[in-house]
Structure 1
Amino acid sequence: MGQQDVQERLEMKKLGMEHLAQFNELLRYVFQVTNQDLQEVGWEEDEIEQAKRPVLRKADVVGWFDGDKLVSQMAVYPMQVNIFGEIYKMGGVTGVGTYPEYANFGLMHRLMRQSLKEMRDREQTISYLYPYSIPYYRRKGWEIISDVMTFSIKDTQLPENVPVSGMVERLDIEHEDVLKTYNRFAQNQHVAMIRDSLAWEEYWRWEREEMIAAVYYDEAGEPQGFMYYWIADDIFHMKEMVYLTREARHGLWNFISAHFSMVTHVKGKLYTSEPIAFLMEDSDITETIHPYYMARIVDVEGFFKKYPFLEKQADFHFVVTDSLLEWNQGIFHFQWDAGGNVVLGKEAHGEAVEIDIQTLTTMFFGYKRPKYLRKIGRIIASDATIKQLEKMIPNETPYFSDYF
């Protein structure tokens, strides 16, 4: 039996709750999740299947079937993120996988195209995903837009206490003050997830046991920051720290330093490319920065209609290449109507900026600046046009701490 015979009987269709067992079985095979792996993180043998019910219940999932057998799949969560203060609909890609005997049939390529088309129809003009292979997703139009920094600090390197007027309280991880503080943070933090119940479910999918929330309250009793942490084997582990004020940052680090006699090290993650060593009195700490999440512009025109440009520059045009989505291909010239809204023309005006969809995404997300991208050969443009792009795009550090 040849590939052509197999391909002729394959059918792409939506997944429903009746496909839950097959969806779970494919995920476990592709990512090689064993029962021992599940037990080591506190899951019972059948709990992962129950945990994936929200995917099929709330996500848009498409797959390829060989008869009644599910052989390839891709899920998209309906989510929202903050892009320089504008709230965008985002399609969160997860649950991607194909059985190896069906590899090299082009199944995932077609699933991605179909899912992206449906995202565009739902006005999800951008898509996020966690890349298990950066080169693979780059070829499909996604690009890195955020980092995660892991650090390790010895107990003797913990910062000195900084006087603050408020105090820290230890609370349940789902306390309303924690959720309220994160929401205030996300509404003002570029690239961050606006967490609804689905996003919080995914945030806690694999890490929940033993976790504590430390909330910093200012002098007026208002929560201004929080941290998720746990202590094990004489190590203080920080999952995430969020703060709205400098005072809250000092207060939370004071709380960490108060564990001096209890721990030998503090280890944690910060979802930023900005090192913390400079903030420490003893800066000789271990820091490692890794690429974290990737994003893709699904619909160039829809994305730019909401984009908060710093300045209006209209005497150049983009020549965009997108190997997967034809509606993103070609010329995009910026114009503004009387109300200040952007209108993308399809005629070439002014100088050209030659760019692919990956580079367009990371540039307008602010992860890498136009000048740098031109320097490494990802953009073809004149000096004058690069200066215009620098003026158009806000300059803020991306922050994304979720996982799905």
Structure 2
Amino acid sequence: MRKKLIIITILGLFLRLFLAASTFHSDVQPFYFAGEVIAKGNILNFYDYLGNLPADDPVLKVYPVYLFNYPPVVYFSLGLATHLLTAPFEKGLLQDFIINFRNVLGRFDLNVFLLTLKLPYLPFDLLLGVILYKFFKVPKEKILAFGLWIFNPFNLYSTYIMGQFDVIPTFFVLLAMYLLVRKNNLTKSNLVLPAVVIGLGASFKIYPFLFLVPLALLKTGWAARLKIIAVGFVTYILLIMPFIGSPGFRQTALLAGQTMKSFYASIAISGGESIILFPLLVLFFYIRFLYVKNYPEDIWRKFFVVLLLFFAFTHYHPQWFLWLTPFLIIDLVKSKLSHWPLVALSSISFLGLLTFFDPGLTVWLFAPLFPQLYGMAGIWELLGVNVDINFARSLLQTLFVSVALYYVYYYDFSTASHSSR
């Protein structure tokens, strides 16, 4: 088993390093740029930095005034890490990477630079694989879970091709689950730590807040439940509190428009009133969880159900799909791979939807290796195919929702979901 782990890890590392060095998406630029801004001493005014630049500053010709739209922990961790790691690079490369990316295409040091920018994700990625390995007891299941994580394309795409940081909040969610499974008891102190970990995950992206209620319902008293929920939120609030006074933070990061996407799907009941489907179903399942027995070893199922509801009713960004991946892997292992058609259908939906995003998420990705790709048209335009984008996206989302509904049924309503009790 040890030999298999070593082989999987080495192959996975080579694949990650190659993809990290060979691909570019514009999402990595703000993280690096943030580190440069912070390193100049812009701390509490970080979110307002661009707004205070002269109108003719060359940076404003490339980026919007409110470029930084993630919570502060993202920029103060990734930004500063990349600032330190990239210090040895030639200054002209660093400047052109921010202002005029075309100028650095085709340069070998760009590949090394891109690899360096994505290195901070590697510890979280590998530790997440270790957690999945430890999630199981049977050696074959351990190896399978670890291997599925190391080679799963959703993580490789989001983390090492796009350069997005979704692997970090995903790691914290899995860590919270593992802390419960490892101890398997309901002492008050045992739930406080997972709540803190969920709060840390939410300080990168807020979706882990969805899991605080299922976590708190492991307790039996309302005071204890409310305390667990409060611990998660207080952890998050403490990390954003220093920036509340920043207009830029309040406008773009505190209440970002992306957080409202889950509220679009609704059923109209009058000219101006509607029932919003996502909160409706989340609240329904929260109430359902309240009136059934809750066990630490089953918490992953409840997290999975709630997250599936989010994806079912949200026009999601490609990197967000990584949030689901550990749950799909756990399900595959526990189902002894019998649920592979569900993963296949979900993958078809994901890949199809990906082709309807801007070409920066598909055609341009390997521009560091093939500079001529940069600026080309999207996949469907290159193929000369005229597609009704909205209808095609609707079909692909419907495909995923059908799979999600089955998972919800299987893990919450069917008798199979209670087999471990």
TM-score normalised to the size of structure 2? 0.26
Query: Which one has the largest radius of gyration?
Result: 1
Q: Which has the higher helix share?
A: 2
Q: Which has the higher strand share?
A: 1
TM-score normalised to the size of structure 1? 0.27
